[in-house]
């Protein structure tokens, strides 16, 4: 991956919710595709940047696509990793949904089956696309401008709603974002096929009215004592601006 210009700008924008390392791990446990919450949190920036996809891009014949739906990092995250099968056609989709931890899933009286991390692991589903379904999905990505350069620099607060897509297509890596309620979000064409390939059974959250959609981080005094993580990403056509390996490279553990 090429070195990004001007140094680690996003590091200065990361704002934690008034907690130290323990709070960081707890907040990060609500996002990302790994089944291990700590690993998921520590590698989230690298995952968003598609560092693993960049490294493998062009090394084989398989196209790979990654889509992330962020509806407030501390509340609702959806990820889709789609890998083409160049021999049989079609593709395999791994979908994951992680929502705000539902502690009612933890039964403290059931010591034998107690899994304290269970509420943060989310739902996972794997499905296969036929060649026709996969071709239709790629066409909808193209219709949405996913393979075109992102026009300018965009800031993405962690409490905002947006789609982020990246991947490797025909040996070329691409990156794009669609923040709500910008026109780019309204003009996407890939949402219908994505919902059709989801398989998790978890519905998408309703979108707020455009005027109510978060466009910046909440003031520090309005974040409460939830221990959530608040940060702002800066992205451009090259991906995240700044380093993405603060805690080491991404490893897909899910």
pLDDT digits (tens, 9 = 90+) for 90-114: 999 999 998 886 555 555 545 555 5
How far is it, in rounded angstroms, from Cα 144 to Cα 43? 27
DSSP 189: -
For residue 162, pLDDT beyond 60: yes
Phi, psi of 128 (to 5 degrees): -120, 135
The C-alpha torsion from 196 through 201 and 202 to 203, rounded to 10°, is 50
- pLDDT for position 25: 32
**Could you report the per-residue pLDDT of 47-79, keeping only the tens digit for each?**
999 999 999 998 888 899 999 999 998 899 999
Distance between CA 133 and CA 197 in Å, rounded?
9
Q: Is 93 helix (H, G, I), strand (E, B) or coil?
A: strand
Residue 131, pLDDT > 90, answer: yes
For 232, the token pair is: 């702002």
User: Distance from first CA to last CA of the chain, Å, rounded?
Assistant: 24
Distance CA 189, CA 78 (A): 17
Q: Is residue 253 within 8 Å of 52, Cβ to Cβ?
A: no
- Answer for the pair 45, 240: CB distance below 8 angstroms, yes or no: yes
**228-239 confidence digits (pLDDT tens):** 778 889 999 999
Domain ranges of the chain: 52-106+119-205
Model confidence, pTM:
0.79
d(CA 179, CA 157): 10
At residue 229, the pLDDT reads 78
pLDDT for 72: 92
């Amino acid at each position: 991956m090429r070195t990004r210009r001007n140094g680690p700008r996003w590091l200065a924008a990361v704002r934690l919710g008034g907690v130290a390392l323990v709070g960081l791990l707890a907040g990060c446990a609500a996002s990302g595709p790994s089944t291990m919450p700590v690993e998921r949190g520590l590698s989230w920036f690298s995952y968003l940047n598609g560092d693993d996809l960049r490294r493998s891009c062009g090394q084989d014949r398989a196209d790979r696509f990654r889509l992330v739906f962020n509806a407030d990092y501390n509340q609702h995250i959806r990820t889709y990793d789609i890998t083409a099968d160049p021999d049989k056609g079609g593709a395999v989709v791994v979908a994951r949904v992680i929502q705000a931890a539902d502690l009612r899933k933890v039964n403290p009286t059931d010591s034998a089956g107690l899994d304290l991390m269970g509420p943060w692991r989310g739902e996972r589903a794997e499905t296969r696309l036929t060649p026709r379904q996969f071709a239709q999905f790629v066409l909808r990505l193209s219709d949405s401008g996913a393979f075109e350069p992102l026009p300018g620099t965009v800031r993405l607060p962690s409490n905002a709603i947006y789609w982020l897509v990246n991947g490797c297509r025909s040996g070329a890596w691409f990156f794009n974002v669609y923040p709500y309620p910008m026109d780019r979000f309204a003009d996407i064409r890939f949402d219908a096929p994505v919902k059709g390939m989801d398989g998790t059974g978890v519905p998408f959250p309703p979108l707020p009215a455009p005027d109510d959609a978060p466009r910046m981080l909440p003031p520090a005094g309005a974040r409460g004592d939830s221990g959530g993580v608040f940060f702002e990403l800066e992205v451009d056509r090259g991906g995240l601006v700044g380093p993405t390996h603060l805690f080491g490279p991404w490893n897909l553990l899910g």
